[in-house]
Structure 1
Amino acid sequence: MAEMTDVTTALLVDAFTRVRDGLPSQLDGLTGDQVLWRPAADANPIGWLAWHLARVQDDHLADLGGVEQVWTTGWSQRFALPYDEAAIGYGQTSEEVGSFSVSDPELLLGYHAEVHEMTVRVLHTLQGPADYERVVDEHWDPPVTAAVRIMSVVGDITQHFGQLAYVRGLLAEA
């Protein structure tokens, strides 16, 4: 059973690492205006997408692992966003997204890098089927297990990474 857990952990780490490895190239060389550019009035800018994918990962994996969110270790103060500290971007209005003001790619990358490190530590604590089958959220029907939560986050961050890359591509046309 240990071999199966090792393979599972390796696959999950790989999934999260692909986003971590791709993010710098999507932010490289962007000006502050480009990081905050919205291709349409209600569209999400690159900076907000990078922040949001990191916040969701941070919030959900920290909760799953029973560890402190990276966000609350000083990053929320560094970002100084006009949001509640618990905000992760889910359900935000267009106006709230529009108030996102962080235009520094290095700040976004630094936060995501620390979130990735925490994620890898949490994944390495999962030792077998019982850890993956543990219910982590009873607010859904059926209740959400650790495995479902992890796969939900992988899906979310890869979708938002794709959106971010698409907006980056639109910059060339703007």
Structure 2
Amino acid sequence: MESRDLLLTAFDNVEEAVRGAVEGIAPELLTARIDPEANTIAWLVWHLTRVQDDHVAEVAGTAQAYTDAGWHDRFGLPFDPGAIGYGFSSTDVARTQVSDPQLLIGYHADVHRRTAEFVGTLTAADLDRVVDERWDPPVTLGVRLVSVVTDDLQHAGQAALLRGSLERR
């Protein structure tokens, strides 16, 4: 098995987890909070998709789907188009008002497609390319992609847990 096939499977798992957390959900649950400071399902899925979009586009040398394909306009969120949710306050999470599960699913599907197209071109040698020198040791492409998968799966799992908790209320 090629390294890219493992990465493609991992990103497929992210997409499946996102769909499981959002598909068929009651729209009002997307922005419900289990306490005043908690993240919402909408914010978690928007954020994990923004991170994937931002990080993969950067290493692929391509435009982000969020701006390139008009997702920023469709979401209509009150944030700069470059915002990915990192460092957001509780107030910012509350301002992430998304009531259409299909919007989240559609944006993630677009990012997933773009990610798969890029990852499908990679060789094992590509994964050793340094993509971020700000760290010690510098971050390679392989490490960056695994980091994105790990972060995305954690957030998708949080969204699924929130959904289950909110649906049982």
TM-score, structure 1 as length reference: 0.92
Hey, what does 1:102 align to over in structure 2?
98
Hey, what does 1:82 align to over in structure 2?
78
Question: Is the aligned partner of 1:20 residue 2:15?
Answer: yes
| The 10-residue stretch of structure 1 (42-51 or 25-34) with the greater mean CA deviation from structure 2 | 25-34
Deviations 1:18-52 (A, max 9, x none): 12123223213322211111111111111111111
Q: What secondary structure does 1:76 align onto? A: helix
Runs of 4+, deviation exceeding 3 Å: none
Cα separation, 1, equivalents of 2:98 and 2:53: 18
RMSD over aligned CA atoms reads: 1.2
Shift of residue 119 of structure 1?
Answer: 0.4
Q: Which of the pair has the greater relative contact order for Cα pairs under 8 Å at 6+ separation?
A: 2
Question: Is the aligned partner of 1:69 residue 2:61?
Answer: no
Residue in structure 2 matching 1:36, options 31, 34, 38: 31
Cα separation, 2, equivalents of 1:26 and 1:161: 7
Cα separation, 2, equivalents of 1:29 and 1:171: 14
Cα separation, 2, equivalents of 1:22 and 1:133: 28
Gaps of 5+ in 1: 1-5
Matches within 5 A, 1:134-149: 134-149=129-144
- Number of residue equivalences: 168
Residue in structure 1 matching 2:127, options 120, 132, 146: 132
The percent identity for this pair of structures is 48
Gaps of 5+ in 2: none
Hey, what does 2:152 align to over in structure 1?
157
Cα separation, 1, equivalents of 2:157 and 2:17: 10
Report the residue type matching 1:83 in the other structure: F
Cα separation, 1, equivalents of 2:124 and 2:166: 45
